[in-house]
Structure 1
Amino acid sequence: MNLSESHYYPPMADGAPLLACYNSSESLDSLENQRPAATTIDGTLERYVDGNCRSSQLLQAIFVSLAWAFDAQQTFISVFTDAEPAWHCTAATCPSFGSTPCGLPPGSWAWDFPADASVMSEWSLQCAGSAVVGLPASAYFAGCLIGGLLLSTLADTVLGRKTMLFFSCFTMSLSAALTAVSPNLWAYAAMRFLCGCGRATVGTSSLVLSTEMVGKRWREKVSISSFFCFTLGFLSLPALAYLNRGASWRTLYLWTSIPCFFYSVLIYFWINESPRWLLVRGRRDEAIQALKRMAAANDRNNAITSSFSKLIVEENASDIGVFSAMKMLWEKRWALRRLLATMIVGFGLGLLYYGMPLNVGNLGSDLYLSVTFNALAELPSSLITLFLIGRVNRRSTTVAFATASGAFSFLCVAVTAEPWQMAAELASFFSACTAFGFLLIYCIELFPTCVRNSAIAMLRQAVVLGGVLAPMLVAEGRKRSFISFGVFGVVVCSCGMFVACLPETRGRSMCDTMEEEESKQMMNAS
């Protein structure tokens, strides 16, 4: 920037850097008169986004949150498509007491449903090892891991939140549709991997975009709406699977891919980009246009343009690389410390969060009913999070729920009666869901706008890494319950303790730059 046409002001009282711009023909007196009018990005956005929040604006934010419903469907769809179907003996010499038909003579047994009702029955995987049986689910989570590492920074750098969300939803829907025509297990696993790559940034982009579209007053409520949408998607699965029982597992993939495709089209043509991200990236004119579409009618005038003409953050928009956000997280010791702590906690919660729904088949209860109960457990979890989020500290609450989740997981091993074991499993899953909800909101507040999407994406990658290992533990848990429930408990309790390394963020405003966050840290320390 040409210094003859700009002037730096020292940081404001809250430590936020300002750069007020003026034409070279303006006098110093005019410059001084402009100084009080200049504000931080957060303060200016609060004026137009929160102060004049409209129902259409909230509707857009909630619609963006709906992406979590499709995320949930693709994440847990393998609970039904890859399940081992019921079977029965057809010969008098067939021992009916076995848990699997593996090793029985051909013709002495048969599946209760058509062979194509499940992946396991269509491709005769009843005698396959745990690694092969869990391959499609693990491939999906591996795709989430790889896709997140490659794509997560694009939402913070060159693509933005909206474009990244559209691309992710479109890829997820297309790959889910292609999964329905898989000719064999290896092609099926490959399509699940591709679907995982597309899904990797759905939840992250949706959560960040929806919270940046509204002000502080609505941020927590919009965050919780994402969890409700995830519950909605999770609950729809057992209903769809029950209606699809006896039919091909391929139909279930088509039923979930088509609505996601139309949703991605609506995202592209209807939803606005985050004005906060546009401002941080130096795209002021686009941010102003987005705000004019979002603000109330009486603010669609020169007031918005006037306010933002005095506001440019200290960011060289031309110096934006694909991995610039990750570089900033790596170079700042405080940011790296926060990132590693949240990722460790996320790994423990992810192992249990994804493992428990996959593990319900090992409890011996009805699969449709068990998955429905697990999905319903997310509903009170979201309500509890909504009720507590403005009243309690993030750090202590996350530790408490993570510890409770591990304790109930141990209880699943200790008790043998089926109703009590199912109750302990639901309590463990409920606690993990609540801890995960708090952790996501916590992470939004821990990192500034310029790296927020990348930080949350890395947290979700850690959660997904737990999901990669979960299917194999579940497969082994069919023989020994401690391999699944016991390991879940140990890991989530141990990892949950790392929340103690993080600063408390309750009641804080969101920062936009690394320098602003550091200034706030210094003020808190003093």
Structure 2
Amino acid sequence: AATRDFWCARPEHLSAVPLDVWRNLTQPDGQCSFRDAPYQQLTLDSFFEYFASFANATNDALRTDTVPMAGGCEAYEFDDTTFGQTIVAEFGLVCDRAHLVSIVEMCFLAGAALGSVGSGWISDQFGRRHTLMGFALTQALTGLALGFVTSLELYMALRVVLGFASMSVAVVSFVLVVELVSGRYRTIIGILNILPVALAYIMAAGIAYVTRDWRTMQFAITLPGLVLVSVWYWCPESPRWLLAKGRLDELYQLLERAASTNGLPLPDHCRKSLVVASSNSDESEVAVTVGDVFRRKFIRTTLVMIVVWFGIILIYFGITLHLSNLGGDIYINTVIAGSVESIAICLSIVVVLKLGLRINLFLYMVVAGLSCIVMNFVPDGNLWLIITLAMIGMFPPCHVRSQRKYADDAL
């Protein structure tokens, strides 16, 4: 959440008191302290009379017990120069409630963490297609519900659900698209699969700038999810999942549809080949658990990817969640971040195909780490240099590397 200026709200009958006068007289110690006075009994004229003896006093004099400090206030007003109605403003997440901002953000990330683990198992049981669309529907309905909540507790609970559904959509959609193709196209489509995220980042900045209201924005960013659900009927199932489950009739129909779309005939022995492949799959099928990635065959890969993912996610979310703290205009910063990420995603395809995933990932880790280190030594006045360094480390194709690495090690 972006930092906003705020102050104790003026009672309606004292709204004509100039803001600078109100803040100087009632909050001399800062935003989170409030001078005790019978404000509800004071009129506009008596308000000035009440504080008249302190009008020319120093701050030290104002801190005397004559007009004691009362601590926090019941309601706040917020500076709406840059932002309109936000979660922070609506639920008063400032002063002694400021820590709840981080908890609200953590709720989404906690749900996302659960989704990244649970969605794989669910899609293995029920198929990629139905799992993807089911979570897309959950994401859309939860997003709509968030726009109507009036309770912070309910908002936080729904954010957990939204995080779970959103990460599940991301994970399962990636698995589905890479299982629809083979060879070098798996790398290309795996990287391009995250391009809409960066483009949506740019669009979200525009929506936020126009709406200036968190509820309106919540509804606006939820609408694309409803569009995604509408393509449920046309979304194909993963042929590899159908083969693994022995659902050969559905697989053959899917291949026929793909061949017809591409204007190509299916080989005469296609159905027979599917039967043989399914038989081989059944013979080699073994129970797979999460613990398998920590066995001797995979342990080195697992430990390396844990370190890599931790570093990348720490940098990525550390930058994206705190763009407002970089300085400058938050909307422009967000557009720049989305644009840089979009360009990086497209360029990474060329780099990966030329240099390979390992070198590409290594270069990213080095460059991103150095950028973050150097950024700490840039003088505050060099805003564009700070933003440039921050944008360099936006996003690598790490998830493609993970999928390909485990697939290669399994051979």
Quick check: TM above 0.5? Answer: yes
Q: Trace 1:510-521 onto structure 2 (pairs within 5 A).
A: 514=410, 517=411
Task: Give the match for residue 229 of structure 2.
Answer: 264
Task: Give the match for residue 54 of structure 2.
Answer: none
2:242 is the counterpart of 1:278: yes
Q: Tell me the alpha carbon deviations over residues 29-73 of structure 1, each in whole angstroms, 9 at most, x when there is no partner.
A: xxxxxxxxxxxxxxxxxxxxxxxxxxxxxxxxxxxxxxxxxxxxx
Do the aligned partners of residues 405 and 313 (structure 1) sit closer, same or farther apart at CA in structure 2, a change above 3 Å counting? farther
Q: Tell me the alpha carbon deviations over residues 200-239 of structure 1, each in whole angstroms, 9 at most, x when there is no partner.
A: 2211111121122123243232223223211111111101
Task: Report the Cα distance in structure 2 between the residues aligned to 1:315 and 1:99, rounded to whole angstroms.
Answer: 72
Task: Report the Cα distance in structure 1 between the residues aligned to 2:198 and 2:170, rounded to whole angstroms.
Answer: 13
Task: Give the match for residue 164 of structure 2.
Answer: 197
- Counterpart contact for 1:408–1:424, Cα < 8 Å: no
Q: Trace 1:265-414 onto structure 2 (pairs within 5 A).
A: 265-266=230-231, 268-295=232-259, 296-300=262-266, 302-312=268-278, 314-316=280-282, 324-330=288-294, 332-414=295-377
2:21 is the counterpart of 1:92: yes
Task: Report the Cα distance in structure 2 between the residues aligned to 1:99 and 1:116, rounded to whole angstroms.
Answer: 26
Cα deviation, residue 327, structure 1: 4.7
Task: Give the match for residue 399 of structure 2.
Answer: 440
Task: Give the match for residue 389 of structure 2.
Answer: 427
Task: Report the Cα distance in structure 1 between the residues aligned to 2:362 and 2:126, rounded to whole angstroms.
Answer: 35
Normalising by structure 1, report the TM-score: 0.62
User: What's the % identity of the aligned pairs?
Assistant: 21
- Counterpart contact for 2:76–2:92, Cα < 8 Å: no
- Counterpart contact for 2:115–2:164, Cα < 8 Å: yes
| Matching residue's letter, 2:319 | M
Aligned residues: 360
Q: Tell me the alpha carbon deviations over residues 149-205 of structure 1, each in whole angstroms, 9 at most, x when there is no partner.
A: 3332222x2122212211221111111111112212221111111101111221111
Q: Tell me the alpha carbon deviations over residues 409-459 of structure 1, each in whole angstroms, 9 at most, x when there is no partner.
A: 122221222434x533443443341xx31x2221221123xxxxxxxxxxx
Cα deviation, residue 140, structure 1: 0.3
Normalising by structure 2, report the TM-score: 0.78
Cα deviation, residue 379, structure 1: 1.7
- Counterpart contact for 2:199–2:339, Cα < 8 Å: no
Q: Trace 1:32-51 onto structure 2 (pairs within 5 A).
A: none
**CA RMSD between the two structures:** 3.1
Task: Give the match for residue 32 of structure 2.
Answer: 102
Task: Report the Cα distance in structure 1 between the residues aligned to 2:283 and 2:390, rounded to whole angstroms.
Answer: 46
Which runs of 5 or more residues in structure 2 are unaligned?
8-17, 36-72
Task: Report the Cα distance in structure 2 between the residues aligned to 1:389 and 1:185, rounded to whole angstroms.
Answer: 44
- The 3-state SS of whatever aligns with 1:102 is coil
> Which structure has the bigger radius of gyration?
2
Do the aligned partners of residues 319 and 226 (structure 1) sit closer, same or farther apart at CA in structure 2, a change above 3 Å counting? closer
| Matching residue's letter, 1:258 | L
- The 3-state SS of whatever aligns with 2:107 is helix
Cα deviation, residue 86, structure 1: 4.8
Higher RCO (CA 8 Å, separation ≥ 6 residues) = 1
| Matching residue's letter, 1:134 | S
| Matching residue's letter, 1:286 | E
| Matching residue's letter, 1:273 | E
Give the one of 92, 95, 98 matched to 1:127.
95
| Matching residue's letter, 1:275 | P
- Counterpart contact for 1:374–1:426, Cα < 8 Å: no
- The 3-state SS of whatever aligns with 2:303 is helix
Task: Report the Cα distance in structure 1 between the residues aligned to 2:283 and 2:153, rounded to whole angstroms.
Answer: 44
